[in-house]
């Protein structure tokens, strides 16, 4: 069982679903509300990559864990949408790649 978990963590992160065709959505600024390991709330800016109606891959300067709920806002729209952390991978000491999935498909989320 540990070997399967280790393999999952080493896989490249990518969002499921069809990529959003708008180039602005491919590198969209997002704002993320959540809480850290000690339940301290945070508000962070991040970048979305591989954006789909089902979620995205975020580059984020915050520690989050799988299964954690976040509120995510597209920088252009300011409407918070609930998302769940699906997978994380450390890039460096301060930055993580965070794969999120929306609780419901949101094709309109990435529209400006």
CB 29 within 8 A of CB 45: yes
Q: How many domains does the chain have?
A: 1
Segment 35-84, tens digit of pLDDT? 877 888 999 999 998 899 999 999 999 989 999 999 999 987 778 999 99
How much is the pLDDT for 36? Answer: 79
Do strands 41-52 and 81-90 pair parallel, antiparallel, or not at all (unpaired)?
unpaired
pTM score, whole prediction: 0.76
CATH number, domain containing residue 47: 2.40.10.220
How much is the pLDDT for 13? Answer: 43
- Residue 44 forms part of a structural domain: yes
- Residue 109 forms part of a structural domain: no
CB 101 within 8 A of CB 95: no
The residue range of the domain holding 23 is 2-102
Q: Can you tell me the distance from the alpha carbon of 104 to that of 74, in angstroms, rounded to the nearest whole number?
A: 16
Q: Can you tell me the distance from the alpha carbon of 50 to that of 59, in angstroms, rounded to the nearest whole number?
A: 11
- In percent, the amount of the chain with pLDDT more than 90 equals 51
- Residue 110 forms part of a structural domain: no
Q: Find, among 101, 79, 84, 99, the residue nearest to 34 by Cα.
A: 84
Q: Is the model's pLDDT at 3 over the cut of 70?
A: no
């Amino acid at each position: 069982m540990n070997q399967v978990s280790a393999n999952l963590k080493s896989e490249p992160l990518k969002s499921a679903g069809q990529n959003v065709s708008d180039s602005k959505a491919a590198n969209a600024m997002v704002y993320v509300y959540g809480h850290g390991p000690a339940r301290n709330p945070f508000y962070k800016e991040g970048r979305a990559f591989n954006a789909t109606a089902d979620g995205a891959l975020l580059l984020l300067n915050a520690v989050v864990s799988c299964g954690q709920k976040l509120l995510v806002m597209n920088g252009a729209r300011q409407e918070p949408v609930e998302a769940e952390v699906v997978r994380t991978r450390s890039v460096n000491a301060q930055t993580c790649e965070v794969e999120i999935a929306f609780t419901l498909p949101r094709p309109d989320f990435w529209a400006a």
